[in-house]
Amino acid sequence: MQIIRDMVSPQTGNEGAPTVLIVDDDVAIRKMLVEALSLEGFHTETARDGREALGVLKQSKRWIILLDLMMPVMDGWTFRQEMMKDETLAAIPVVVTLLTLEFLRASGPLL
């Protein structure tokens, strides 16, 4: 969580906790990240794939994106390419996540 806090703290000013857009096709991983980030004081939004995430980003500005690369419909690589075409979206920080349920189960409590 510290990497997220470090990336967004200069941008938040007096606006409160930053919003994190979680882009992942795995519902269990999205739920785990929402719960963990909420406990740390972050507001979250979720998207199941890159196409859905682009729609969410058009609604309002997001502070940081947690992005899975392997998703159906629009994968993380294509999503990032589309983001880079828009000057406003290109400036949003992105953290690539490579979480799998198998990894999470093997690791025990991460957060």
Q: What is the pLDDT of residues 11-62, one digit of tens each?
A: 544 455 568 999 999 998 899 999 988 888 888 999 999 999 999 988 766 6
Strand segments (E) across the chain: 19-23, 43-47, 64-68, 94-97
The CA-to-CA distance between both ends of the chain, in Å, stands at 8
Residue 62 to residue 31: CA distance in whole angstroms: 19
Q: How far is CA 49 from CA 68, 72, 106, in A?
A: 8, 7, 25
Residue 53 to residue 58: CA distance in whole angstroms: 9
Name the pLDDT band for 110 (thresholds 50, 70, 90): very low
Residue 52 to residue 74: CA distance in whole angstroms: 9
- Write down the pLDDT at residue 109: 55
